[in-house]
């Protein structure tokens, strides 16, 4: 059985983030074909074009982690109806230098938890716009906006409510299938490969 390396990014820097708890739950409930590694964003400097000639080591490490992953999963809160600053900063570093966008063609998923009822829906809309520009395919359905209830989620990722566990398990199953489809479509020799398309003209 093939396995896929998934890098996941938690959009909050807080050690006690509810989205970090959600990330643990997703790892526990994911299909066994997926293997997970967190891509840290805490040590990144603020993006500055002037630093590109001497690319900062944390930013290079982030790019290497993205490029070595088969897919990227963003597990993130919503700040002021938009993308958290640390996450947007990480995406900006990963897309640079110009022409070396590490997110291109990486199958992505976006999910987030919030104490409120809309469960990061507005942030996710912003993220989709950014990832579309970066040529990063996105799992569009099912959408996953999680209202976080402390009695449902254990700190170790245990999900105590059966319907919530079933929903998150389904989301991760669909993300796994999406990763497989995108990687197959991008494989050398596939009709989507530019060399194949050129040969067919």
Collapsing DSSP states into helix, strand and coil, what is residue 159? strand
Q: Report the distance separating Cα 155 and Cα 75, nearest Å.
A: 15
Say what the pLDDT of residue 118 is: 84
Give the full edge-to-edge strand order of the sheet including 71-75: 34-38, 4-10, 71-75, 108-114, 145-147
CA atoms 44, 45, 51, 57: torsion sign = negative
Considering just the CA atoms, what is the radius of gyration of the chain in Å?
17
Task: Quote the tokens at residue 87.
Answer: 């996450």
Q: How far apart are CA 67 and CA 58, in angstroms?
A: 14
* Alpha-carbon separation of residue 121 from 12, 127, 128 (angstroms): 16, 10, 11
DSSP assignment, residue 9? E
* Domains detected in the chain: 2-182 (3.40.50.360)
| Predicted pLDDT at 190 | 52
Beta bridge partners of 4: 34
Q: What is the per-residue pLDDT for 138?
A: 98
DSSP 116: S
The pairing of strands 145-147 and 4-10 is unpaired
* Partners of residue 145 on adjacent β-strands: 112
CA atoms within 13 A on the CB side of 182: 22
| pLDDT score for 198 | 38
- State which residues of the chain have pLDDT below 50: 194-201
């Amino acid at each position: 059985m093939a396995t896929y390396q998934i890098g996941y990014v938690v959009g909050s820097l807080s050690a006690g983030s509810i989205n970090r708890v959600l990330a643990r739950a997703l790892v526990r409930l994911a299909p066994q074909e997926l293997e997970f590694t967190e891509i840290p964003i805490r040590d990144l400097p603020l993006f500055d074009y002037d630093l590109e000639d001497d690319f900062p080591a944390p930013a290079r490490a982030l790019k290497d982690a993205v490029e070595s992953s088969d897919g990227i999963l963003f597990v993130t809160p919503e700040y002021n109806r938009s993308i958290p600053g640390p996450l947007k900063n990480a995406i900006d570093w990963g897309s640079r230098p110009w022409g070396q966008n590490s997110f291109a063609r990486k199958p992505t998923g976006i999910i987030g938890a919030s104490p409120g009822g809309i469960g990061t829906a507005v942030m996710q809309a912003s993220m989709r716009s950014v990832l579309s520009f970066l040529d990063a395919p996105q799992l569009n359905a099912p959408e996953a906006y999680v209202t976080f209830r402390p009695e449902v989620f254990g700190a170790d990722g245990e999900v105590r409510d059966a319907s919530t566990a079933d929903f998150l398990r389904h989301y991760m199953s669909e993300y796994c299938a999406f990763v497989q489809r995108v990687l197959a479509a991008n494989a050398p020799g596939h009709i989507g490969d530019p060399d194949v398309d050129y040969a067919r003209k």
